[in-house]
Chain A
């Protein structure tokens, strides 16, 4: 294994959640709708119907390109990509070929210590239309065109991945980022986020001066129909193993498209690829080229991205990476957290905390789900204040209950005395339970220790 190195690139498709479809006025949200109810002459490819591009979809593609640090091309165009398939009503898909909206980006994968682990280069981001959907049944195959013409963004990475863990990490981070931008549901199960890895394996050649001599493998295998991040990892790992076995026999794996069987966790051959795909691309004559001014490109603003938020939480709020990371996974949660921080500023006295960082405390409350984030911000703050209030303890009752607990747990006391200091935690727990939480654990501990040591 060690003398082989996997080479993996990704193609990711995202359905945009624009109100209308890419080239017509039909509603783009087809999920759960009666088949063929969200269609018109344009997305059905009727004779004479013409596409008119959706401005919002173009703007959002630029936004994605910018968030992935791409260069936004001031000149771009749509092209026709031809192939026959029943779910493609025009016989061609309107896509982008040699002049995509965005190119040459990069995306950094970080490790659990928030250090940049690897930089993945983004080759291109382009805009196209989705196809219809085939529904196979016993009585034949039916076509639902509700999805036909839904805006679809394709992101293509360079083959910069070497293992399935990085791929999974990248996809998870990309999903969070896309949801931050608010341009797609990016849901693998619903198919609003789809991905195909291209996998090959190369031998690591060590030259005389001990440097790696990298070359490109002369084949690649594309894996389709994967609908979760877990399966992506499984499929890639399986492929790497399969390809290495073939290479070990002195053979070269065939260039092909393979499917993924999620029950067996294996890939299987679907079709071998032609030497070069013959899609007969040419510029879409029905849509004038897209020309973007700098002013326009600059007017599309990327919001604060998850990793930037983490950095800010750590440096500005002085909270730990772990909580900052969790809080920033979902933009809504992050916003909720920040609203609490800004609203609570003049109520800090009520929190009864001395030298502690209240921001960290609030972060803990949210992360540990001690207070539900379903509450309004004001309700959350009220509950927080209530939670942090020093408990009014009924001292008599406490001592009575401690005595009762100690009496019933003589063995634990012995353990404790033998040096199992952790045993006291159990006793504290028992007392807290009897007190129904209405006691400070710190005080309970002191009281128990005092009584055990007295005896």
Chain B
């Protein structure tokens, strides 16, 4: 009898295994529909992703912690799977910010972003790798090893949200949450060939997001489709009584906003093409032609060179880092300050120096003044155009180990992402073709006015419908069959 039952169970499992391929590469919204129509159970969906994580994570190192508590969760919930960058506090799930300092930290509270996701019946599959404290653009500063680029395992998936980007591009999660200070969502999304949305500063609550540079930090999503980005933003955006810097503005229904056929005035600028890889430039010009064909107006604009943003960003970010990391003083959380990696130590020292008596005016105050100029510059440009189009990164994914050659590696890789971050604008990166010889994704980005995420999402959706991002996303997932 027992033997028969065992055989039945085995058969059932086999049956389910056979059914699995229908998920591969499917968007969140698609999975949601399957669950709603009772074509699959949430348990099947979660098990599917856990199995894929077991199969591929050791190669890619996208996850630091996998959440296997689903069986003890209530089954009446829908349980849409999502993975979250490991710098969002998740109640009861270890949260490290990829630093040994927080190696054993299990938060007693939930970040607003994850709380809103859980309230919307999401299930957190696990916590994804990042550069330690989000300091970097390659995940190589992670104390738990770098995340490899699913397109080429000898390369970086970008950073700091590298684990979140790689998890989506290898389909170890249908979507993930990342955070951006200056480029940390868009750059890894570009290098990993997926969609990365950085909302306007203040659009999404930072409560429970382990602070890097508080005046810049912004939670966002990494997804396979524009619809998924719209779905997630609708859930996580909006005023939070626990974050005084969140805006009290109404949150539009981003999903229905996508479906409107809108025409935009799109600005392009020479300043953002300086030193950019030829093939990335080609992709950029190719998209301009497509946008014209779609009836949008392309307008040449002048913007301050992004190089100024590097200086401003470096000073403000180091300053705030040195302050935000002061709380890890060895009294709480187990490990003391000797557990900080070399990158964090460098940033603490530079930030401390910049704030020291007599230097404040020369550095920090000056940087804030230039920041104001950059904001004014964007304000003026946005009187003429609705959206700015530019490459996301100057180059495609680099080999692991290359960052050691550059002391300001992150700043250089993020040069095209920094101005929007400094100004607090919303921006989105999406894949647009592959670099031929290396077969690596190229990312382009749209920057929009403050609190006008619906515009950049709408245009990205139009590009998706028209071009399917030149097939990049689907090609990426094909490398990771079930």
Interface residues of A (CB under 8 A from B): 40-41, 44-53, 80, 82, 84, 86, 89-92, 143, 276-278, 280-282, 285-288
Contact = CB atoms under 8 A, between A and B. Distances in A.
B244 interface: yes
A288 B97 contact: no
A278 B319 contact: no
A41 B109 contact: yes
Given A41-B109, A48-B210, A51-B244, A91 B329 contact: yes
B244 A286 contact: yes
A286 B107 contact: no
B323 interface: yes
Contact of A86 (B208, B210, B325, B331): B331
B237 to A, nearest CB: 17
B244 A53 contact: yes
Contacts of A143: 331
B342 to A, nearest CB: 20
Contacts of B326: 82, 84, 90-92
Contact of B208 (A44, A48, A52, A285): A48
Interface in B30-67: none
Contacts of A41: 89, 107-109
Nearest to A44: B332
Top 7 closest A-B pairs, CB basis? A91-B326, A280-B355, A285-B215, A285-B214, A48-B208, A47-B210, A52-B244
Interface of B: 87-89, 95, 97, 102, 105, 107-109, 111, 206-211, 213-215, 241-245, 319-320, 322-323, 325-327, 329, 331-333, 352, 355-357, 360, 364
Contacts of B320: 285
B364 A282 contact: yes
Tell me which of A90, A91, A143, A288 has the highest count of chain B C-beta atoms within 10 A of its own C-beta.
Answer: A91
Query: Which of A280, A286, A288 counts the most B-chain CB atoms under 10 A from its CB?
Result: A280
Contacts of B211: 47-48, 286
A51 to B, nearest CB: 7
A49 B209 CA distance: 8
Nearest to A89: B327
Query: Which of B206, B242, B326 lies at the interface centre, i.e. has the most chain A CB atoms within 10 A of its CB?
Result: B326
Contacts, number: 100
A51 B332 CA distance: 19
B183 to A, nearest CB: 19
Contacts of A276: 357
Nearest to A276: B357
29 contacts: A45-B327, A46-B107, A47-B89, A47-B107, A48-B87, A48-B206, A48-B208, A48-B210, A49-B109, A50-B206, A50-B242, A50-B245, A51-B244, A52-B244, A82-B323, A82-B326, A82-B355, A84-B326, A89-B332, A91-B327, A143-B331, A277-B357, A278-B356, A278-B357, A280-B355, A280-B357, A282-B360, A285-B320, A286-B243
A80 B320 CA distance: 10
B312 to A, nearest CB: 14
B135 to A, nearest CB: 15
A41 B138 CA distance: 30
Contacts of B322: 280
B469 to A, nearest CB: 33
Given A285-B213, A285-B214, 13 more contacts: A45-B327, A47-B211, A47-B327, A48-B89, A49-B109, A49-B207, A52-B242, A90-B326, A92-B323, A278-B357, A280-B360, A282-B364, A285-B320
Contacts of B360: 280-282
B355 A48 contact: no
A255 to B, nearest CB: 16
A48 B111 contact: yes
A407 B158 CA distance: 113
A287 B154 CA distance: 42
Contacts of A287: 244-245
A231 to B, nearest CB: 32
B97 to A, nearest CB: 7
A47 B241 CA distance: 18
A286 B245 contact: yes
B368 to A, nearest CB: 8
Contact of B327 (A50, A90, A288): A90
A344 B419 CA distance: 74
B462 to A, nearest CB: 35
A280 B244 contact: no
B97 A282 contact: no
Nearest to A87: B331
A49 B319 CA distance: 19
A50 B214 CA distance: 10
B245 A288 contact: yes
A287 B243 CA distance: 8
Contacts of B87: 48
A133 B449 CA distance: 47
Specify which of B215, B244, B364 lies most central, judged by the most chain A CB atoms within 10 Å of its CB. Answer: B244
Contacts of A80: 323
A355 B329 CA distance: 75
A156 B332 CA distance: 34
Contacts of B207: 48-50
A90 B364 CA distance: 21
B276 to A, nearest CB: 31
A148 to B, nearest CB: 12
A45 B111 CA distance: 14
A280 B107 contact: no
Given A84-B326, A282-B364, A52 B243 contact: yes
Contacts of B357: 276-278, 280
Contacts of A47: 89, 95, 97, 102, 105, 107, 210-211, 327, 333
Contacts of A84: 326, 329
A50 B244 CA distance: 8
A299 to B, nearest CB: 21
A282 B108 contact: no
Contacts of A82: 323, 326, 355
Contacts of A46: 89, 107-109
Contacts of A50: 206-207, 242-245
B255 to A, nearest CB: 28
Nearest to A278: B357
A276 B108 CA distance: 40
Contacts of A285: 213-215, 245, 320
Nearest to A85: B329
